[in-house]
Amino acid sequence: MTLLDRVKAAGVPAHVGMIMDGNGRWATARGLPRNAGHQAGVRTAERLIRFAGRRLGLRHLTLYAFSTENWSRPEAEVSFLFDLLRRFIAEKLAEFVAEGVKVTVSGDAAELPPALREEVARATAATAGSDRLWLNVALNYGARREILRACQAAMRAAVAGTLRPDGLDEEAFSRLLYTDGMPDPDLIIRTSGEVRLSNFLLWQAAYAELHFTRTLWPDFTAAEFLSILSAYQERERRFGGLVGEER
């Protein structure tokens, strides 16, 4: 039995979040411009999406593509990233439809360049009925802004009289988040050796298992992904309770 077979037999997580970090350092280490690292990173994302959907059977995958803090990068790099994402979505849309990949975006799309915003809208509409793999792209995303946005929506509902304070429980609040309809992530992986969440899915990650690898994102492989999933399956998830002999 291969590692892939063992991971699938043990039960694949319902939702995996990926903080794709290290593109710039990957390029710098090779004497290349930072944009070459972003191009390599997109190819890695493409391979992971294809592997997760076709071979692994993962149902929900969230990729952290661009944070609200990334606007502080040089304007030329930000423009290149947005155009790279636009071209990636456009080029892969037919494949996503054929493979049953549902595409959604978590984040403030209103601030994105019009061409990227239009491509995102086209992809979400074209794949709305897909149900094999739900690919959620965190784009212009920040968890604090997401939580604040949800609070504002709850306040507006309260003022309108459609929501009572005691009616706002965790489940109701979760429905106000970008990830409404998705299960909370079971596992969040960050590449490049950084050991923090960087404003990623803070509400949803309350009980997620975390894995940090020193591998730079362009070097991340399906084999390492399987190894991480195998290690995840060895963990005991207590959710604040007791397990086994501890009771």
Residues designated as active site: 21, 70
For residue 205, give the amino acid letter. A
> What residues does 106 pair with on adjacent strands?
138
Distance CA 245, CA 212 (A): 29
Distance CA 247, CA 241 (A): 9
Q: Determine the straight-line distance between the first and last CA of the chain, rounded to whole angstroms.
A: 34
- Cβ distance 58 to 133 under 8 Å? yes
- Cβ distance 3 to 46 under 8 Å? no
Distance CA 52, CA 59 (A): 8
Distance CA 78, CA 32 (A): 17
* 19 secondary structure, DSSP code: E
Burial class (CB in 10 A: 0-12, 13-18, 19+), 102: buried
Distance CA 50, CA 98 (A): 12
